[in-house]
């Protein structure tokens, strides 16, 4: 999870910016720091405050409950000279403090005895190792601090490199191995196993998981040592593989046919059937062999295969194979930060690439860290979406950025249209296999109604007046239906430099079905510094004042407007609660 870098005074800005670059973290302004600190802490986000330690202590004190669940919290002096882990020392804070101090050429003030003497505490192993069992690790650490040696069954090199003393007669017994043959009061599993799998399309996750469990049991290996479940990239969208990876708390990684075919001479059980099907004689064994040694040849169930490979050292899953690419289709709301949904923000922060219209990317610049921007001009909608899909097909996590809500006159439908397309419009097979997630945003009609009251309090509809993609007669038909149906109606793309008449036609049509005093909301540049919101009447509404940065909402025959004490006119549409109350 990306850390949050907080500042509370301008004097800390430079150091905070350096830390954000070093840790690929998100730098927050002083205002954001105060507002978001409780949420960040509760969500488990690592927190680095460029401030006095006392500030973080006072702000976080009411939230402290369980030290086993607290994220790393560090205080850094404004000149970067001192890095102090305050919370989560054995959950990564001490390790993060060391790394940060080294990068800043400062000093890490570690107060836990184990971390001040050794590279890490026994309860906080380095990346690539998992602590899976401990009888009483605090007592063991205490014994080590008093001079006890470690008796290690398996690979103890990493412990020795951290400063621990090893010996055959050591008082602290440890197993550091993927093998389940041995037991000790402390057990670590190295992330050295790759489970290669193949399966028929639509295989159940239960079948694949059961096969993996049986294979591990046969090989006498612990599941906690699985660094990745691997397969051919043709299976990148196979649900069973991803569900299996989640159940074993690991990741799914994929390789091309050519990469797997490089292992053909090392396969224990090559298959002519598989070669005829995809062009290489093995998937499960080949994927496992990419780890190093094949420790369990292919095993089969009714619809799946499994093999296990082992590397000599822990595997970094970030450099092993490719992950399934992900396309986040993100609605950023009308433009202001306050109107973004939490889901949209999380998707933008998690993405390596942002694709969108230049203006939309500028509106979220405050969230940008090291994401690569892919800006497209207005009008290049299909090239923009196609680029996002093909970029995700390379294994990257891509955000396709849309204003408002991505599903309302935006790019979500086009993305699915291209995924469904055949022939010349079809995307590549790799693009068809990317994961797609839509993140709703606040649409312009919602923002306009909220800014001026509650005009969409009852039945409503939205109509785009753009005739670039919709025939004019179809637009007129929908306008007649909305007017006759007495819907509150929001007009998107109401008027352009070329198309000047449809909004006027709409006003005249609605005037035949609404009283003259019907409220009309005219909202321009919603969510931006230039925002204007006008509540007028259908009779007074002037379509010639509207441009493409404006949205127009016309009320129903029951909509009302009134002036409040502050002089502001608001509009709303009652649902009928008055009649409901009278009926009691």
Domains of the chain (ranges; CATH) run 4-111 (3.40.50.11220), 129-190 (no CATH), 193-319 (3.30.420.180), 326-442 (3.40.1010.10), 445-577 (3.30.950.10)
pLDDT at 25: 84
Least-confidence region, from 114-123, 209-218, 478-487: 114-123
Exposed / middle / buried, residue 319 (Cβ in 10 Å: 0-12, 13-18, 19+)? exposed
Other CB atoms within a 10 A radius of the CB of residue 214 amount to 13
> Does residue 90 or residue 567 have the better pLDDT?
567
Exposed / middle / buried, residue 450 (Cβ in 10 Å: 0-12, 13-18, 19+)? middle
CB burial string 277-305: b at 16+ within 10 A, e below: ebebbbbbbbbbbbbeebbbbbbebebbb
- Rounded to an integer, what distance in angstroms lies between the CA atom of residue 129 and that of residue 189? 6
Give me the mean pLDDT over the 503-511 stretch.
96
577 has pLDDT over 90: no
At 579, list the tokens.
Answer: 């009649």
Confidence of residue 584 (pLDDT cuts 50, 70, 90): low
SS (H, E, C) 520-533: EEEEECCCCCCCEE
Give me the mean pLDDT over the 65-84 stretch.
87
8 A C-beta contact, residue 435 and residue 236: no
Q: Global pTM?
A: 0.81
Using CA atoms, how far residue 308 sits from 176, 228, 324, 530, 547, in Å, is 19, 10, 21, 61, 63
- Rounded to an integer, what distance in angstroms lies between the CA atom of residue 177 and that of residue 169? 19
Residue 329: partners with Cβ closer than 8 Å, 6 or more residues away: 400, 402, 406, 411, 412, 415, 436, 437, 438, 439
Instruction: Report pLDDT digits (tens) over 221-256.
Output: 999 999 999 999 999 999 999 999 999 999 999 999
Confidence of residue 146 (pLDDT cuts 50, 70, 90): confident
Phi/psi for 472 (5° steps) reads: -60, -40
Instruction: Report pLDDT digits (tens) over 353-369.
Output: 999 999 999 999 988 87
Other CB atoms within a 10 A radius of the CB of residue 273 amount to 8
8 A C-beta contact, residue 174 and residue 148: no
8 A C-beta contact, residue 49 and residue 55: yes
Instruction: Report pLDDT digits (tens) over 412-428.
Output: 999 999 999 999 999 99
- Rounded to an integer, what distance in angstroms lies between the CA atom of residue 458 and that of residue 463? 17
- Rounded to an integer, what distance in angstroms lies between the CA atom of residue 197 and that of residue 245? 11
């Amino acid at each position: 999870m990306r850390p949050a870098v907080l500042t509370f005074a301008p004097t800390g800005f430079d150091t905070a910016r350096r830390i954000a670059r070093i840790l690929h973290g998100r730098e927050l302004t002083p205002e954001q720091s105060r507002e978001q600190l409780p949420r960040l802490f509760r969500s488990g986000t690592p927190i680095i405050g460029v401030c006095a330690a006392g500030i973080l202590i006072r702000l976080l004190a009411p939230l402290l409950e369980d030290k086993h669940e607290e994220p790393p919290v560090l205080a850094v002096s404004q000149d970067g000279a001192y890095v102090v882990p305050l919370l989560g020392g054995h959950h990564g804070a001490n390790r993060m403090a060391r790394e940060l101090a080294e990068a800043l050429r400062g000093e890490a003030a570690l107060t836990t005895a184990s971390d001040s003497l050794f590279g890490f505490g026994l309860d906080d192993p380095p990346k690539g190792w998992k602590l899976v069992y401990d009888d009483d690790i605090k007592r063991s650490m205490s014994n080590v601090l008093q001079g006890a040696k470690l008796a290690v069954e398996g690979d103890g090199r990493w412990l020795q490199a951290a400063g621990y003393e090893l010996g055959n007669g050591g008082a602290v017994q440890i197993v550091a191995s993927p093998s389940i043959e041995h037991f000790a009061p402390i057990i670590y599993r190295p992330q050295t196993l790759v489970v290669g799998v193949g399966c028929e399309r639509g295989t159940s996750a239960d079948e694949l998981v059961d096969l993996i469990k049986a294979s591990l049991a046969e090989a006498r290996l612990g599941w906690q040592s699985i660094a990745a479940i691997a397969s051919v990239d043709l299976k990148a969208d196979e649900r069973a593989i991803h569900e299996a990876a989640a159940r074993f708390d690991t990741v799914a990684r994929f390789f091309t046919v050519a990469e797997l075919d490089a292992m053909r001479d090392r396969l224990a059980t090559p298959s002519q059937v598989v070669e005829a099907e995809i062009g290489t004689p093995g998937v499960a064994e080949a994927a496992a062999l990419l780890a190093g040694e094949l420790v369990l040849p292919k095993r089969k169930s009714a619809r799946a295969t499994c093999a296990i490979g082992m590397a000599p050292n822990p595997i970094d899953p970030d450099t092993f194979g490719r992950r399934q690419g992900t396309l986040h289709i993100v609605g950023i709301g009308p433009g202001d930060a306050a109107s973004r949904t939490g889901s949209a923000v999380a998707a933008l922060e998690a993405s390596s690439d942002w694709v969108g219209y230049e203006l939309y990317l500028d509106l979220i610049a405050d969230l940008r860290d090291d994401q690569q921007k892919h800006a497209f001009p207005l009008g290049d909608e299909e090239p923009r979406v196609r680029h996002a899909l093909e970029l995700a097909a390379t294994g990257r996590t891509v955000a396709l950025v849309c204003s408002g809500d991505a599903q309302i006159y935006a790019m979500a439908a086009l993305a699915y249209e291209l995924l469904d397309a055949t022939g010349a419009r079809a995307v590549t097979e790799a693009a068809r296999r990317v994961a797609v997630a839509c993140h709703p945003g606040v649409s312009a009609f919602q923002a306009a109604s909220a800014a001026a009251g509650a005009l969409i309090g009852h039945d409503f509809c939205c109509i785009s007046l753009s005739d670039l993609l919709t025939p004019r007669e179809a637009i007129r038909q929908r306008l007649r239906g909305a007017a006759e149906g007495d819907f509150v109606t929001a007009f998107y793309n109401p008027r352009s430099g070329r198309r000047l008449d449809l909004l006027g036609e709409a006003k005249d049509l609605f005037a035949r079905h609404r009283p003259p005093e019907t409220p009309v909301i005219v909202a321009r540049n919603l969510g931006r510094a230039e925002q204007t919101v006008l509540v007028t009447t259908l009779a007074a509404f002037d379509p010639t004042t509207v441009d493409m940065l404006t949205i127009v909402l016309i009320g129903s025959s029951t909509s009302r407007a009134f002036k409040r004490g502050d002089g502001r006119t608001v509009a709303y549409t009652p649902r009928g609660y008055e009649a409901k109350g009278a009926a009691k």
